[in-house]
Every structure is written in C-alpha cells, then in structure tokens.
Structure 1
C-alpha cells in the first residue's frame, strides 16, 4: 500500500518540475523580449540619425516628435522608453500633459490618479480615473515617472517637460 506522504511527495516533486520548466521558459521569453526591445531601440536611433543627417538637427527633432506622438500600429499611442537626454517632447501630447501635472505636483509629494484626472480637465468618474491611472502606470513602466507609494505618481527626472509654448 502506498503511503499518503509518499503520494504527496511525488506530487510535490512533479509540481517543482513544472515550476522549474515554466521559470526556464519565462527566462527565455524575457531574454527574447529584451533582444527585441534592444533591436527596436537601435532602429529608432538609426532612423533619427538618418533623418538628422538628411534634414539637419532641427528638422529631425520635429519629425521625431511628430512620429512619436502619432498612434502606433493598432491605434495605440507610442510611449518610448526614457533614456538619457530624451525630452518629454517625444511623448504623445496627452502624455506630455500628464508629465506637466506630475512635475507641478512633485513638490507636494506626488499626484494621485484622481487629482491627475481633475488637473487634466476630465470628469472624476471611475472610468476616466482608471484611464489616467493607466497612462501614469505606462509612464512608470517606460521610466518617465515613478510610483514609490502605491497610487501616487511623480516624475522620474526633474524638468522633463518644456514650458508651455516651447
């Protein structure tokens, strides 16, 4: 007769093997994702460099801002990862507005999604608050903002938003 403890140990061993296999697969996928993101980053830099060489720095900067602000393949706004020397002007206009509010609220310890929604001139209803929270979380994920306290957002770097009219 098989003992209950023996059966449990066998199931535990099988579960550990599944977990290990899934971890290996997740590591492989994360490595693949990292390579794909690095490839995209190189392509963006190459496009910007070619545009700058062909058109001069001022034209290339305007084109980069316009292209980054456009909707992506499925109508999704492109929010590039923040990197050294990258201005918030490359963000879509609505994300620039979010960053401006975060910058203004940074001295007060950050901005909550509800307050951010109101500051953007939107009605403070759950659907609109969640939309703005999603935008703030996307900025966090891409390195533009931080969420040190759950639900409270601040800019990741100081003075990333140009003055109005600039």
Structure 2
C-alpha cells in the first residue's frame, strides 16, 4: 500500500482503510507530544489478537510507515502518537 507523505491539507482519507483506523485510534487516545501508545495497545484497540504476526504485520509495520511519512511520531521506540501536523489538520 502506498502511504503519501503528509502535507498541509492532505486528509487521512488519502490513506488506505487500515492506516485510517490506526490514525483514528491514536486521535482518540493521544495528543501530539503527549501520551504515547504501544503496538500492543494499538492491536487491542483495533480488536486484533495480540499475536506476533498481528502486532508486527498489522500494527508495527504500518505505524512505522506512517511515522516515516510524517503522519505519526515515535518519540520512544515502539510507542506512537499523532504527529503535530496531522493532528492540527484533524
């Protein structure tokens, strides 16, 4: 799945549904620079079984991709929050 680099005016709707679900979950649970959420917490919030395959393949990898593209921030390894720009646009 292609994840566009975040830029002002680009809405989460430009992302695939799985990525939108991660953003929506983080929008409800954290704030930029505030509380962070672990991959295990994200998996549970998405209703996924806490297996290694789900956490790595369906949570950690997409979250890292969103971080690389500016949608999320990872202030502590393995813990994610919304990046400042996307949070301001939401």
TM-score, normalized by the shorter chain, greater than 0.5: yes
TM-score, structure 1 normalization: 0.48
Which runs of at least 4 in structure 1 moved beyond 2 Å after TM superposition? Answer: none
Q: Quick check: which one's strand share is greater?
A: 2
The answer as to 2:69 corresponding to 1:145 is no
Which protein, 1 or 2, shows the higher relative CO under an 8 Å CA cutoff with sep ≥ 6? Answer: 2
Which deviates the most, 80-89 or 101-110? 101-110
Equivalent-residue separation in structure 1 for 2:72 and 2:89 (angstroms): 10
- Structure 2, unaligned runs of 5 or more: none
The count of aligned residue pairs is 85
Matches within 5 A, 1:5-154: 77-107=1-31, 109-131=35-57, 132-154=59-81
Deviation at 1:104, TM superposition (A): 1.3
Q: Quick check: which one's helix share is greater?
A: 1
Deviation at 1:110, TM superposition (A): 1.6
RMSD of aligned C-alpha atoms?
A: 1.5
